[in-house]
Amino acid sequence: MDKSPFEYAPAPESRALVSIKPQYGLFINGAWVEPKSKTKFATINPATEEVLSKISQASDSDVDRAVKAARAAYTKTWSKMPAKERGKYLFRIARIMQERAREFAVLETLDNGKPIRESRDVDVPLAAAHFFYHAGWADKLDYAGLGSNPKPHGVVGQIIPWNFPLLMLAWKIAPALATGNTVLLKPAETTPLTALLFAEVCQQAELPAGVVNIITGDGATGAAMVNHPDIDKIAFTGSTEVGKLIARSIAISGKSATLELGGKAANIVFEDAPIDEAIEGIVNGIFFNQGHVCCAGSRLIVQENIYDELLEKLKRRMSLIRVGDPLDKNTDLGAINSAAQLAKIKELSISGDTEGAFRWSPDCSLPSKGFWFAPTIFTGVTQSHRIAREEIFGPVLSILTFRTPQEAIEKANNTPFGLSAGVWSEKGSRILWASKALKAGVIWANTFNKFDPASPFGGYKESGWGREGGRHGLSAYLKGAK
Amino acid sequence: MSRIDVKKTYKLFIGGQFPRSESGRSYEITGADGKFIANPALASRKDLRDAVTAAKSALPGWSGATAFNRGQILYRIAEIMEGRRDQFVAEILALEGGTTKAATAQVTEAIDLWVWYAGWCDKISTIAGATNPIAGPYYNFTIPEELGVVGVIAEQKESLLGLIAAIAPVISTGNTAVVIASEKRPLPAITLSEALATSDLPAGVLNILTGKVSELAPWLASHMEIDGLDVTGVNSKIESELRIAGAENLKRIHRFNKAQSPERMLAFMEAKTVWHPIGV
């Protein structure tokens, strides 16, 4: 690719419009406070390993402070405010996020490693849209399907992952606030910066103190939230393993929970699929956001008679993927978010080699610093291979084949996960038949990895509890008659 | 000499059949007056696993049936129960005591509940589904679907009404179920299985076990082929234990207060959202 006459000149987005503080406190009760633990940890740019800032480790007592702030805000302010006015705060937040969109995008890319093209065109606009969408719900909850006058849970503890830091924040905070809950939110320890910038947005929007509290830390902070007696509901996005831990932890306390967990999505390509569109969908399905996507189309299931043609086209298309500087506007595939995640991707990929699958990657030079993994496919994958069963959460695609439609569905459903699935066919009846037969919460037919605030998202089986987005997601933050 | 009654042997209901427990065990049931009534089967873990297999096998057919068809079958159950009204009243009186009026009212409410849920079968998707106005050239809709196999620990006190309040909503949406009947008052549940066996309900859609809740419930909660659990029939301490066991496959676990509520259907449904591009 280096020798291509069509090589792009570097087109880096400017870093100048973000100012990152050397260190951050916790955002509790509308103000910045230092953690009682007095402990800070570094957050780095995964593309360069440069330290971006020092972040506070919230201890149990910090969590307790945040819960008290959220409880007081709930009791004294937020639950008493007319819903119409509550909604206006969300509209304000949406507008400020739009105004500061480029700043958020650059910061997200610096802290996460995702291409600026994605943070700018997907993460940030969708995050703002989530606030705008839910703002309008605030004074219409009687129509949310739970009968008249549904009630919020109260104080909600929210724990989000590192793959879509700001977007996951929006998915969590917007519906919680619209329905009248107050929140404390913990971003992932490797990607806290956009959540901390969001705290500034709350200040600019003059959101009453304590309605949103942002606390940073590792798994211990998350555990303190899950086990805190005065949190009414937990909303978690992350691994199925941690999701199950949370489910056990709250078994006795009776807290409600929504869990948005792992996936191993099948992307089924039938012989009558629009092949060029399907290739784009496959690439988007697995290489979007470096494959750090719970709903990534990580198992490609192709009808046998088009396999050779599809594989050749896929390899050609993969050769055009530009891997490198996430801030470059031409970059398609950015950095892996952390050394730990890179090690996991490598370990699972090696299992693919040793279990007998065939690895292929296009020629691409990877930067010497930072965490990188070339776009990769495995062929000759069988259902028993670890790379066909376990979530890799990286740019690694496992390819399987099928002969009959029934076989495709059986292979697709042969997983404890059930988050998403893809179907490619030009035949309408086949699309609807497959959509019905697939056990997954989101079915992308002749498209993949599309998201919208109005569209419910969430999984069957071990991919979690509940939905986020749309009326279905809203109801997860409300209590109706049972 | 007066006629000697022909007493019934009370058995399990698994896959449309009426087996005894594979364990060969039974237990003694006494009436509200303390006198012996029957020796129903004491179901084992193996019986429970057989029941799950039957429920799993029945799932594609039942969930694939049209909602209209399911509605007719639920209504048919009400029809058959209506014909056995006196038998249900007698069993409730014998087991629960109380007045004939109260027992009759329970049977009436139970039958009417089948009618209510029968009418829901082809409406719940309309109420709980949506077309979603997304910002792009895509058609996007959400439909609720059956969850799969649901374990039910029926309410213990009102032996018939509690049972039907749990199972009617579960199967109305296309789920199949494994049910643990009221431990001390299982007779109406067994009589119900006889009604079910003659009501066009496909074999395996409802499987009813009698026995000890404390013995069977943990297996119900930990079984990896069971997708949801109604814990209305246990106390909160046991509920917590079942929730811990059920976390292994992230079972949807719910407790209910109302007999007649769409929430009892929706709790064991999953929302599926489908996207498709719009274009020429």
Contacts of B249 (CB under 8 A, 6+ apart): A416, A461, A462, B224, B226, B227
Residue A205 pLDDT > 50, yes or no? Answer: yes
Q: pLDDT band at A481, cuts 50/70/90?
A: low
- Count of structural domains, chain B: 1
- Identify the closest residue of chain A to B148 by CA–CA distance: A461
DSSP state of B201: P
pLDDT average, residue stretch B201-213: 98
- Tell me the pLDDT tens digit for each residue of B246-278: 999 999 999 999 999 999 999 999 999 999 999
- CA–CA separation, A314 and A331 (whole Å): 19
Active site annotation includes A202:
no
- Tell me the pLDDT tens digit for each residue of A279-313: 999 999 999 999 999 999 999 999 999 999 999 99
Beta bridge partners of A42: A54
Residue A336 pLDDT > 90, yes or no? Answer: yes
- Tell me the pLDDT tens digit for each residue of B12-30: 999 999 999 999 999 999 9
- Residue B172: domain span: 29-277
Residue B154 pLDDT > 90, yes or no? Answer: no
Mark residue A461 as left, alpha or beta (left: phi above 0; alpha: psi -120 to 50; beta: remaining): left
DSSP state of A461: G
Contacts of A340 (CB under 8 A, 6+ apart): none
Residue A2 pLDDT > 70, yes or no? Answer: no
Of B130, B133, B261, the CB nearest to A482: B261
Range B215-250 burial, b when 16+ CB lie within 10 A, else e: ebbbbbbbbeebbbbbbbbbeeebbbbbbbbbbebb
Any domain includes B1: no
pLDDT average, residue stretch A252-263: 94
Q: Identify whether the C-beta of residue A25 lies closer than 8 Å to the C-beta of residue A37.
A: no
Q: CA triplet A193, A195, A198: central angle to 5 degrees? A: 115
**Structure-model confidence comparison of residues B156 and B261, the more confident one:** B261
By residue count, chain A amounts to 482
The SS3 of residue A127 is helix
Residue A1 pLDDT > 70, yes or no? Answer: no
CATH H-level superfamily of A26-261+461-479: Aldehyde Dehydrogenase; Chain A, domain 1 (3.40.605.10)
Q: Which stretch of A308-312, B19-23, B84-88, B156-160 has the lowest confidence by average pLDDT?
A: B156-160
Portion of chain B with pLDDT greater than 90, in percent: 96
Q: pLDDT band at B156, cuts 50/70/90?
A: confident
- CA–CA separation, B243 and B222 (whole Å): 9
Q: Identify whether the C-beta of residue A392 lies closer than 8 Å to the C-beta of residue A345.
A: yes
- Tell me the pLDDT tens digit for each residue of B128-153: 999 999 999 999 999 999 999 999 99
**Structure-model confidence comparison of residues A145 and B206, the more confident one:** B206
CATH topology match: A26-261+461-479 vs A266-445: no
String of DSSP letters for A18-48 = ----SB--EEETTEEE--TT--EEEEE-TTT
Burial of A339 (0-12, 13-18, 19+ CB in 10 A): middle
Q: Which helix (H) or strand (E) holds A221?
A: helix A219-227
Of B140, B252, B263, the CB nearest to A482: B263
CB of B66 within 8 Å of a chain A CB? The answer is no
Q: CA triplet A338, A341, A347: central angle to 5 degrees? A: 140
pLDDT average, residue stretch A231-252: 97
CA atoms within 13 A on the CB side of A300: 29
Q: Which helix (H) or strand (E) holds B151?
A: strand B149-153
Residue A3 pLDDT > 90, yes or no? Answer: no
- Tell me the pLDDT tens digit for each residue of B184-204: 999 999 999 999 999 999 999
Contact A442 B263 (CB under 8 A): no
Of B142, B250, B256, the CB nearest to A456: B142
| Domain A266-445 class in CATH | alpha beta
> Identity (one letter) of the amino acid at B63?
S
pLDDT average, residue stretch B103-112: 98
CB of A317 within 8 Å of a chain B CB? The answer is no
Contact A455 B134 (CB under 8 A): yes
Any domain includes B219: yes
Residue B280 pLDDT > 90, yes or no? Answer: no
CA atoms within 13 A on the CB side of B40: 27
How distant is the alpha carbon of residue A457 from its chain centre? 11
- CA–CA separation, A445 and A426 (whole Å): 10
Of B55, B49, B54, nearest to B22 (Cα)?
Answer: B49
CB of B227 within 8 Å of a chain A CB? The answer is yes
The SS3 of residue B128 is helix
- Tell me the pLDDT tens digit for each residue of A350-385: 999 999 999 999 998 999 999 999 999 999 999 999
Any domain includes B10: no
Q: What is the dihedral of CA B246, B250, B252, B253, to 10 degrees?
A: 30
The SS3 of residue A464 is strand
> Identity (one letter) of the amino acid at B275?
W
Average pLDDT, chain B: 96
* CATH number, domain containing residue B188: 3.40.605.10
Active site annotation includes A294:
yes
Q: Identify whether the C-beta of residue B32 lies closer than 8 Å to the C-beta of residue B184.
A: no
Contacts of B136 in chain A (CB under 8 A): 450, 452
Contacts A–B by Cβ distance under 8 A: 112
pLDDT average, residue stretch A210-227: 98
Domain residue ranges of chain A, discontinuous segments joined by +: 26-261+461-479, 266-445
